[in-house]
A and B are shown apart, each in its own frame.
Chain A
Amino acid sequence: MGESITFWVLAVISVIAALGLVFSRRAVYSALMLGVVMISLAVLYAVQDAPFLAAVQIIVYTGAVMMLFLFVLMLVGVDSSDSLVETIRGQRFWAILAGLGFAALLALGIGNAVVGAPRGLAAATQAGNVPSLAELIFTRHVFAFEVTSALLITAALGAMVLAHRERSEPKPTQKDLSRQRFVAFGKTGKNPAPLPGPGTYARHNAIDMPALLPDGTISPLSVNRYIARYEESQGILPPEVARVLEQEEAAQRANGHSTPTLADEAGDDGPDTEPMTDEGVVAGRVVGARGEARSEEDGK
């Protein structure tokens, strides 16, 4: 009875989470959903007399693999939300059809394959679950076990080889970098000093607090564009920040060029790259959104 309740609760949760994994726009949500599914499954393992696997599931999957996923997501860009518009004709229709058909067939097939009540593992695990498993792994499956160890080492090496990037030129020293900054200043007037940290002369040192210049106005360089965009979408962007961004936008339009940014300085990306961290463009979006928001306010 207890098992039934556990199963039904976890089954519903895991199916919903799996659907969420597939259909959420943001990759981070997908990862979290996957975590939910994995933990649910871990509990189901535990229920089914597999405490060792449940522990390994939590440790390896939710602990290591999921972290790896999130880590790579951060590397690649959290911001990259998937567009849900399908580009391959018929792909979605056939995918869902195949999924439904496959689920139905599998359920029919495996569902009917089992006859009778489960035998239970009591007989097989008289010495306890973990010792029994250990005995099997180190006796009957020892060869496979050794091979998996080789596989893991190979995988680790492979990952290193794949992720390693050979440096084609000597690493720039601080002197080189400084010289570059001043050359850029001479050419474009870009501020050679570091960006001002958030919250200077302010009550908070949180990242969403822009720095104040000595005259008390906001330094546009210190505005975090992600946060500004989020606040814009939520309608909680402070008016003085919005004003500063607007002024900057106007100044840019007057000059006909955008101020050089950190992203440009990174500089090794070609023209076809998605400018995820291009603050100039982000600022433009923010301002655009801001304008819409204002018209809404005017409407009110």
Chain B
Amino acid sequence: MTTHYLVLSALLFAIGGVGVLVRRNAIVVFMCVELMLNACNLAFVTFARQNGNLDGQVIAFFVMIVAAAEVVIGLAIIVTIFRTRRSASVDDVSLLKY
């Protein structure tokens, strides 16, 4: 059963990764990142049960806190960029190049 959870976690992680690569709306990109973090959390929780050790759940808890902080900052950045560039597309923010 544990394997199933882990495979599900891997699938969600990969889907989130593809989303990050494919979508251009910065907010959606962020959502995909959240999806990847959630997938990781699932793996942590699963391993916690597999190993009979609560540490995995504690780590998952910390991951959530960090994710929340990251979302706050990330969205603030997106809003700031949108304010100046009137666009939420990550492709528009490409001045730092060759």
Q: Which A residues are within 8 Å of any B CB, using their own CB?
A: 3-4, 7, 11, 14-15, 18-19, 21-22, 27, 30-31, 34, 37-38, 41, 44-45, 48-50, 52-53, 56-57, 60-61, 64-65, 68-69, 72-73, 75-77, 80, 82-83, 86-88, 91-92, 94-96, 98-100, 102-103, 106-107, 110-111, 113-114, 118-125, 132-133, 136-137, 140-141, 144-145, 148, 151-152, 154-156, 158-159, 162-163, 165, 269-270, 272-274
Question: With A15-B15, A21-B35, A41-B41 in contact, is A80–B25 under 8 Å at CB?
Answer: yes
How many whole Å from A171's CB to the nearest CB in chain B? 18
Instruction: Name the prevailing secondary structure of the A interface residues.
Output: helix
**Inter-subunit contact B42/A44 (CB<8 Å):** yes
> If A76-B82, A162-B73 touch, does A137 touch B61 (CB 8 Å cutoff)?
yes
- Find chain A residues with CB under 8 A from B57 CB: 50, 52-53, 133
Cβ of B10 to closest chain A Cβ, rounded Å: 4
Instruction: Contacts A15-B12, A41-B42, A155-B73 given; indicate if A65 touches B78 (C-beta within 8 A).
Output: no
- B72-92 vs A: 1/0 string, CB under 8 Å? 110111111011001111010
Known: A53-B41, A141-B58. 20 other contacts (CB 8 A): A7-B1, A18-B35, A19-B15, A22-B16, A22-B18, A22-B19, A31-B31, A45-B45, A60-B64, A65-B71, A76-B88, A80-B25, A95-B21, A99-B15, A107-B11, A119-B49, A124-B53, A133-B54, A140-B55, A155-B72
Q: Considering the chains assembled together, what is the distance between the CA atoms of A52 and B67 in angstroms?
A: 17
Q: Which of B35-73 contact A (CB under 8 A)?
A: 35, 38, 41-43, 45-46, 48-55, 57-58, 60-62, 64-73
A123 to chain B: closest CB distance in Å?
A: 6
Knowing A99-B14, A106-B13, A110-B43, the reply to whether A69 touches B83 (Cβ < 8 A) is no
Check B75 against A69 for contact (C-beta < 8 Å).
yes
Interface centre among B32, B43, B55, B69 (most CB of A within 10 A): B69
CA distance A4 to B11 in the complex (A): 18
A146 smallest CB distance to B (angstroms): 12
